Structure formats: structure tokens, C-alpha cells
Structure 1
Amino acid sequence: MAESSVYLAVDLGASSGRVVAGSFDGTQVTLEEAYRFENGGVLAGGHLYWDLLNQWGNVVKGLRAAAAKHGNRIRSVGVDTWGVDFGLLGRNDELLGNPYHYRDTRTVGLMEQAFKTVPRAEIFAQTGLQFMEFNTLYQLIAMQQSNSPLLEMAERLLMIPDLFHWLLTGEKANEYTDVSTSQFYNPQTGDFARPLLEKFNLPTQMLGPLVKPGDKLGPIKRAVAEETGLNEVQVVLPGTHDTASAVMAVPAASVPGAKPDWCYISSGTWSLMGVETPQPIINDRMYQLNFTNEGGVGGTTRVLKNIAGLWLVQQCRQLWKQQGHEFGWEELTRRAGETQPLLSLVDPDAPAFVAPRDMPAAIREYCQQTGQPVPQSEGAVIRCALESLALRYRMVLGLLEELVGGELKTIHIVGGGSLNRLLCQMTADCCNRRVVAGPVEATAIGNVMLQAVTDGTVGSIAQAREVIRHSFSVQQYLPQNTWPWNGAYERFMQLVQRAK
């Protein structure tokens, strides 16, 4: 039997990071977590930052652990992270400060100011991206308005995964799936939207060459090889935006770029719900709906909507933990399942839920202000959040079907949220669609399998998805109790409309 090839995925999320070894034996791929560490923002001087050097130290530890176990079988390594955030390099590749966290408050209110310089419609026409106040464009404008000396000193802008690839190889390049979250990338030209940046009087000389998923960036630096015990293996770019890698791992049978008959939900802190299309969709309806075009693997575009996701549930659990109540996820789901259904609803994307100090209190206050029964127990609060999320999925599903001009028969849920059986069944019932949940480790799987495609051990993305279907179990949920959701959806839409 031939020896398995091993590909290392450095998978960094907003709350944790890990190094995962993916072993491919020619038929199946298996994952093994070599190292995991906590991640998160650091509040200092009134601003929220990422601790890049601590993150890098942990990545090195993870690579060392993987090298100790898998040695010469390791073929390549690639990094994926969250989007929008970035770091700046100055002369002699000097790192200029710590990267800001996307939840830092310095961009609050900046979008409306930006529209006075360049109209909202013109920004969308050049970028096709949804408007979110933490997009890279507004982060740069915030630096400009505060007269940050870093902006003047910057010679190169690197998105977060680009920073780690630079630390690994010394090569400075911008991978386009992550750049596509910046709101200064033009998906129609396949290049930076330099004319847009120039209208804002923002520097463009710091933008580097664009590279794509599957490109080889080069071998890791000798110093990194010596420190980790790795050979000088290749760094192969996955879809460096974690959602691009997660969608790569959707176990769908269609060829990438074909007209979609399925949609995906990459479910975690955020729910990224969308379709994989052969071309970007940039028209008035996309603009009105504030949908987005982000870069995908294999030359595809991910037409999607950002939804608050399990953020509400996570923040409730975190607050209860601070109060001395250590609820596991299974316990919270059980309690939610035992409470009365469809009693109280919220709009998960309402501003009240972006960053409240007390999420359960914010949910109760929203229900009170909208004349609904106020959920009292922990289970009732969680049920309210989960049911509201399922209703939001139904709303976005209808809009996606309108945008692509056809029915989406299956909803693929990947990521950690695919483990929440209650939410998956709610989604099937609410949307009246078949739900396929899994794989859980979609981001790392997508990262690993694109490396395998580049290495030639897997022939194509379509073949990689076939391997994924045979390697990981998925759970199917069929609609069971759909009729109560219709009235709930009418109530939900009234809440959403009231906020406009």
C-alpha cells in the first residue's frame, strides 16, 4: 500500500486556531488535529487588535508538532483565516503595528461618511460587495481620518492569511479570495479597484500582485524549516478566506461553475449563506439586497449574504458562564428543544445584537419592545435565537433563488453549526428543503483538498468533492413539520420591515 501524502492546513478562526494534518491515501482523506490554541482580540489603548506574534508563535508550535509525527510525508502547507483584516509592512519588511480586529469600533458610522465622497451605488458597481462597516475599505478610511502615520509608512498591505504566508516564505502576495472581502477588489476586472481607492485619496502603491487558490507561493524559509523540523515544503495557497475553503468542502456532486441547484451555509459565529456561480452578479437587485460577490475556488464566485449566525447563542453561553452557569452546547440545545416553539422572534442581524454586553438581556429587551412574550428561561432564549436564525435562512434562500433564477433544492450546512441537530431540523422545516449537514471540519478539509489538487494526487475540485463525500459522514434532514413556520415567517418579516 502506498504511503499517504500529508497536507497541513493552518486554519485560523476568530476564537481559535489550529494546525490540522490531512492524510490522503489515494481514496480517502482523514484529518488529525496536530495543535490547537485560543485566539481572540486584545483590547489595548481603547482599540481591539489581533496579537499577530502570539498567533505566529502558536502556528510554529503546531507545525513543529505535525512535523514530529508526519515527517517526510508532509507535502505542503497552506493558511486560511477570516476576511477583511490586514497588516501593513514598511521599509525592510518591518511590520507596522498589530493588525486591528474587525470588531474595533473605529469604523462605526464611517460608511455614511464615505458615501459623501463616493456614492454607495458607485462603490457597489466597482466591487460587487455587500456593505459592512468593518470592510477593509472603511478600516483604511478610519486610519486616514485619524492621520495614522502607519498609512504613510506602509509599502505593502497584506491581508491576514497573506501575512502568515509571508512569515512562512518571505513572499508578499495578495490571494484574491481574501482580497475579495476588502471592498476594493473588482470581480469584473479581476484586479484591485484602484480608481475607487484613488477617489478616497488612499494609497495604492501598497497593493501587491494577486495570486489565486492553488498557486504555489514557494518553499518555506530555511529558518522556519529549522525551527519547526519541517523539510522546506511548498506553501500552496488554499482559498485563504476561510469561507472559500469551507465551500470547497461542500460535498455536492455538481461541477464547480455550473448553474447551482444547491446553496450552502457555512455555519459558525457567522452564517455565510450563498451559492457558487460561474460569474459575479452585479446588478441593481444585488445592490438593493446588499448581497456580495466573493472569490471562490476554481474560478468561481461565491454569491452570498453574511448572517449573524451562532453569535447570539455563543454570547448567551459566554455570559451565563461568567455568571457561574457552565452550560454545554448539548445542554442548551436540549433546553431549547423542551420549550414552546415559535413564541418569540428576533432579527438576528439587528444592530442591538452586534456587540451587547449582555446578549440574553438584549434578546429579552428586543422582544419586549416589539410586543412579544419575553423569553425568561435559558432554553427559551436559545430557542428564540435558533428559530429566528432558521427564519433568516428562509428569507435569504428566497432571495438567492430570485438572483440565480431557479430553485435551490438542497441546503448544505458545513462547519460547526452542522452539529446543532435542532437548528438543522428547524432549517429543513422552515425552508421546506432537504438539508445535508456536514462535514463539520469543512474549512480545514477544503484547505487540505485544494493542496492535494495542486499536488496532483487529486485530479480536480469535482473529484476532491467526491473524495470528501466518501470520507466524511453527513446527516440528512428532511422537512417534517412545515406549516407552523409559515405564520412565523410572516411575523418575522414584519420585524425585519419594521427596522427599515
Structure 2
Amino acid sequence: MKKVLAIDMGATSIRGVIGYIQDGKLKTETVDRFTHEIVDYEGRKRWQWDKIVNNIIGMILNHSKEISSVGIDTWGVDFGLINKEGKLIENPVSYRDIKNSLGIKYAEKYMSKEEIFLETGNQIMGMNSLFQLLTYRKLNPNKYKTIDKILFLPDLINYILTSEICSELTIASTTQMLNIKEKKWNLEMLKKFSINENIFPQIIKNKSIIGKTNSSLDERLKETNVDVISVASHDTASAVYLTKAYNDREYAFLSSGTWSLIGCCTEEAIINKEVFKSELTNEIGFDSKNMFFKNITGLYLIERLRKELKNIYKIDFNYSYITDFVTKTKPFEAYIDTDYVDFANEEISIIESMEKYLINTKQELLDDKRKYFRVIYESLVFKYKEIINEIEKIIGYSFKGIHIIGGGAKAEFLCQMIADGLNKKVLAGPYEATAIGNILAQLSVVEGKKIDVDKIIKNTYKVKEYLPKNCEDWIKQNK
């Protein structure tokens, strides 16, 4: 029986989960967890990189004698820049830094947004790696000249652990710099931006051994001998692998966390002007399957509201409290566009931003600020419905269900809202899908055989089902 360690990097916390297969079931244990945050440093919003690296190395040291391998997954788009000495030029900037969107303006001097989309298949978003890199070149021309390699966050961790420079395919597909159909860097497009093609590492697929920790750049790992495996290192790709949508075209997926990623799996990328106008995206999933979806704001708004209301009411707004309050609150009192730009600006109060939005759209302010929890949840459901309708129109058929994974799958009232609002069956769980997908990818390598993922998930986890109940109430809203 071989054990593996999944290091699942989220935007606010990072977990170490050990997993192994016993009696046809997947056994998992969260053995480490630590929080981190974005900090302001040298005029940019950055990740606490030293803290992240030190804690990850600590996880491996603590468990190196019991595990056969380790795999890293993270959020997409962010990167570190390496100089010719193999050193990190500066700590990675976060996708949340509003300066990143300046890169779109710089990019449009060379190509239009539509042209960039047609070259890459990625939704145009200011946080995408291409625009981050162009922003960095504009703001730091001298440092930019010292770049030898660009490594996306899971690739950067793997480099530290093994000394090997490479980029895993699923994370590369988030960058707006990949030819997604040919699955290689889009060198012709990059030439138009005068970006040196030599800074891009070799692309590798998931389920391969990158190296061993005894070759690490960090001396603390030199006495260990753990395989470092390329999993589907974009967290969404690892998670979607476990959904019914991965193998069944009649189901959509919703990865519900800080972000909401909602869409379906297709055999190949869908790239045309209609997709561009709908702001949908293509990214590569596990085993090179295409994920066709939209990336929108998710439970991030709930987290922001929780923090602000805690300061106002001086109580802990845990999810049990929120659930109880929301279920007793009158429905459909207000509506917001959850992707309204001010909602992502952390320098502005989320309550002030929401109330400003309501005033601008000629809606009444609510008499209890806690009611905004329900407003956010309902508005997310309306957004999901809009996106699913767009996708169904483009692919030419309707989904009969949607499979929810991530933290939002735990919220029963939200899952029922989605079933009602979309008039579709909802499947929810497993909740920790990303770490599980990471673990199963590793086990398929260390065990040296194909793993029946569907069977293991069925044996191990209870996937909850929600059927539509109150569809008429949602239809009447006409959003």
C-alpha cells in the first residue's frame, strides 16, 4: 500500500493531504494546513512566498518517510520569474493586484482582444499571465531584461523541490500564451508582443515523474527521496476530473469556491467569435480533455461580507449562522451583477459597493445588512443560469444536470437554489475534489496501473442529489 501527499494550494490556505487506496476505497487524511495572505510590498500585491515555500518543505519533511510521492496543485495564471543564476527575481505578484489589468491596454497596441482570444482560446481577463507579464515589463524594464525563465506557481514549487524546469500542461493553459489546440506555446503570437520565446519552459503532461526531492534546491530536502509527480496542477483541472461532467456530456460542472468556474468538458477547444463575445474560455483538463467554461466571481463576495459584518455585529458569521439566516430571509429582495468591477476592489467596502450598485440600478437598500448574504447567493444563481444558457446555445444541446464540487457543494441551500434556478438536477460532492484528483493522479503513477476513478469515488464518497422544487419562483424573476 503506497501513500502519496497532495499539496493543495488555495488563495487563502494550503493543505497537505495524504491519500492511499485500501479495500477499494480512497483513504485520506489532512495532515497539515496553514493560512497565508496577500501583502503589499514594493507597490504590488504579492504572495507570502517565503512562508508558502517553508511550510511546503516542512510538510514534506514531516512525512517523507511514509509517502512515495508528492504532487502540487495551485490556482492559475500567477508566476515567478527566474534569472540566469536560477534565482527568483522577486516574490510573485498576485492576480488580485489591480495593476495587472494595465497589461490589456499594452497588449492592444499589438493585437485586439478578439485576435488574442482567437489565438489562445482563453477568456480575456486582466489577471491572465500574458497581461501580468506585459505589465511587469512596463513597470520594471530593467528587471524584465534579467528574466531567464517564467515558471507558473506549481511549476515554481516543483523547480524548488527537484531543480527541474518545466511547465505542466493544465497550468500552462491558463496563461493566455498557449496554442490550446496544438498544446504548445503560441510562439508566433508572442513574437508580436516582442516576448522572448526562450523564457518559456518545456511543457509536460500530467502523470509523469518530474524528479526527486533529493535533488532539491533547498538543502533541507537533500536527505529525502520522494518522487515529485506532475498532477493536473491547475486546481480546477484536478477537481473537474472527479465530476460526472468529465465523462458525460449531459452534465455541466461548477467548481464553487473563491471563484465560480462553470461549464462542461468537450473533446476539443471551441474558439470562434461567438465564444469571444460570450466571454467563455477553454482550458486543458486532466488527460488533455478540454474544459469549456466561464470564470466568474464566486464565494469571494460572501467571504468579504462575512469579514465586514463581523466588525459591525461583533459576532462570528460562520456558515451555520449564515445558512440559518438566509433560509429565513425573504427571497428576491434585490439583485446585483456579481462581476461588477467595484466588488473586486478590496480598498472599497463590499457593503458600500453593493449599496452603491443598488442605488445606481434604482433598487431599494435593505433594512438589514445581513440580508446581503441572500442577495449574493441568489445573484450567483442568476449568473450561473445565464452562463449555462450561453453554453447550451453554443454547443447545441441542453444539460440535464450540473455537478458541483468545492466548498459551495457543502451549502445545501445553495445547491437547492441552483437546482431550482436552473431547473436541473444537481449533484454535490466530493467537497475536497481538488486534493482527491491530485492524489488519484499520483497513485496511478506510483501504483503503475490505471485507476478506476468512478468506482473509487462511488465506493468512498456520498454524492448528494438535489432535484428542482420551486422553479416557478425563479422563472417569475425574469433575470
TM-score, normalisation: structure 1: 0.92
- TM-superposition CA deviations, 1:415-446 (whole Å, max 9, x none): 11111111111000000001111111011001
Structure 2 equivalent of residue 498 of structure 1: none
- TM-superposition CA deviations, 1:137-196 (whole Å, max 9, x none): 111111121243222111111000000001111100011111111101011221111111
Unaligned runs of 5+ in 2: none
Tell me the amino acid that sits aligned with residue 335 of structure 2.
L
Does 2:196 correspond to 1:203? yes
Select 2:307's aligned residue among 303, 308, 318.
318
Structure 1 equivalent of residue 103 of structure 2: 110
Q: Is the contact made by 1:458 and 1:464 (CA closer than 8 Å) also made in structure 2? A: no
Equivalent residues in 2 for 1:16-95 (5 A)?
Answer: 16-25=13-22, 27-67=24-64, 71-72=65-66, 74-95=67-88
- CA distance in 1: counterparts of 2:443 and 2:344, whole angstroms: 38
Q: Is the contact made by 1:415 and 1:442 (CA closer than 8 Å) also made in structure 2? A: yes
Structure 1 equivalent of residue 359 of structure 2: 368
- CA distance in 1: counterparts of 2:218 and 2:68, whole angstroms: 13
Equivalent residues in 2 for 1:466-481 (5 A)?
Answer: 466-481=455-470
Alpha-carbon shift at residue 223 of structure 1 (Å): 5.7
What SS does the corresponding residue of 1:121 show, helix, strand or coil?
helix
Structure 2 equivalent of residue 453 of structure 1: 444
What SS does the corresponding residue of 1:161 show, helix, strand or coil?
helix
Does 2:134 correspond to 1:137? no
Structure 1 equivalent of residue 421 of structure 2: 430
Structure 2 equivalent of residue 497 of structure 1: none
Alpha-carbon shift at residue 197 of structure 1 (Å): 1.4
Residues 321, 240 of structure 1: alpha-carbon distance in 2 compared, 3 angstrom cutoff: same
Structure 1 equivalent of residue 334 of structure 2: 344
Alpha-carbon shift at residue 225 of structure 1 (Å): 9.7
Alpha-carbon shift at residue 404 of structure 1 (Å): 2.1
Tell me the amino acid that sits aligned with residue 404 of structure 1.
I
What SS does the corresponding residue of 2:109 show, helix, strand or coil?
helix
Structure 1 equivalent of residue 209 of structure 2: 216
- CA distance in 2: counterparts of 1:451 and 1:317, whole angstroms: 36
Q: Is the contact made by 1:265 and 1:274 (CA closer than 8 Å) also made in structure 2? A: yes
Structure 2 equivalent of residue 403 of structure 1: 394
Tell me the amino acid that sits aligned with residue 14 of structure 2.
G
Does 2:296 correspond to 1:303? no
Q: Is the contact made by 1:333 and 1:379 (CA closer than 8 Å) also made in structure 2? A: no
- CA distance in 1: counterparts of 2:370 and 2:458, whole angstroms: 34
Q: Is the contact made by 2:236 and 2:255 (CA closer than 8 Å) also made in structure 1? A: yes
- TM-superposition CA deviations, 1:240-289 (whole Å, max 9, x none): 11101111122x2x7x5x56111111110101111111111111211111
- TM-superposition CA deviations, 1:309-364 (whole Å, max 9, x none): 11111100011233433211110121111111012111111112112421122222
What SS does the corresponding residue of 1:282 show, helix, strand or coil?
coil
Residues 229, 476 of structure 1: alpha-carbon distance in 2 compared, 3 angstrom cutoff: farther
Structure 2 equivalent of residue 443 of structure 1: 434
Tell me the amino acid that sits aligned with residue 31 of structure 2.
A
- CA distance in 1: counterparts of 2:94 and 2:214, whole angstroms: 28
What SS does the corresponding residue of 2:476 show, helix, strand or coil?
helix
Tell me the amino acid that sits aligned with residue 86 of structure 2.
D
Residues 26, 222 of structure 1: alpha-carbon distance in 2 compared, 3 angstrom cutoff: farther
Does 2:182 correspond to 1:160? no
What SS does the corresponding residue of 1:131 show, helix, strand or coil?
coil
Residues 223, 128 of structure 1: alpha-carbon distance in 2 compared, 3 angstrom cutoff: closer
- CA distance in 2: counterparts of 1:224 and 1:19, whole angstroms: 21
Unaligned runs of 5+ in 1: 493-500
- TM-superposition CA deviations, 1:460-493 (whole Å, max 9, x none): 4xx21321122112211110100011122x2x3x
Tell me the amino acid that sits aligned with residue 243 of structure 1.
T
Q: Is the contact made by 1:34 and 1:65 (CA closer than 8 Å) also made in structure 2? A: no
Alpha-carbon shift at residue 25 of structure 1 (Å): 1.6
Select 1:275's aligned residue among 257, 264, 271.
264
What SS does the corresponding residue of 1:205 show, helix, strand or coil?
helix
Residues 480, 119 of structure 1: alpha-carbon distance in 2 compared, 3 angstrom cutoff: same
Does 2:92 correspond to 1:99? yes
- CA distance in 2: counterparts of 1:206 and 1:109, whole angstroms: 22
- CA distance in 1: counterparts of 2:209 and 2:270, whole angstroms: 29
Structure 1 equivalent of residue 5 of structure 2: 8
- CA distance in 1: counterparts of 2:191 and 2:221, whole angstroms: 42
Q: How many residues align?
A: 477
TM-score, normalisation: structure 2: 0.95
